[in-house]
Amino acid sequence: MALIVGLGNPGQEYEGTRHNIGFELIDTLSDQLKIPLKPGNGPFIIGEGRFKGQNVFLLKPTTFMNHSGKAVTKVLAATGESTDNCIICYDDINLDVGTIRLRPSGSAGGHNGLADILNRLGTQQISRLRIGIGNNFSRGKQVDYVLSPFSPEQRIEINQVLEVASDAILTFLRGGINLAMNEFN
């Protein structure tokens, strides 16, 4: 079984914002893998399907970003899975728009959604896919920046990077984080 988690904020006012790129990736994977998403038995939207002979869960926490760990821990407990086959997908201001990076573990790097997940799980040993959103904001304006939409030019680039990120996730499903890192980093 694999659990693919995309981070974002619930609500129409956050759709299309930089901070919700993880949700957009889950939507892309849902379409590509034909795994419908529906409200789950907890603070999340979930889809279950199969890919290359394994069960795959797609997860979008419906808590706000800073409480994403609640949904992840609930789904891992319900499925009896460890974090070995789990990957967290989220926005990263430290990467340029259109860039992705995969890592097998590490700190939250200042991302509060990932920090909550790592804190609740009690480990930093969880794979992650970071999607660059850039950092073109003035001092003290980070929140406004991450909660704003991409420019029309950036949106074209983001739509392309979502396809690449989706391919990276499929590679992760086929062969694990090391194979995905070798092909996409």
> Is 19 among the catalytic positions?
yes
Please enumerate in sequence order all residues whose Cβ is within 8 A of that of 26, keeping only pairs 6 or more positions apart, or say none. Answer: 4, 5, 6, 37, 58, 59, 60, 89
Which residues does residue 3 pair with via DSSP β-bridges, in sequence order?
Answer: 57, 86
DSSP 9-41: --SGGGTTBGGGHHHHHHHHHHHHHT---EE-S
Q: Which of 3, 110, 106 is nearest to 66 (CA)?
A: 110
Q: Which of 3, 7, 19, 23 is catalytic?
A: 19
Q: Which residue matches tokens 């406004």? A: 144
Question: What residues are annotated to the active site?
Answer: 19
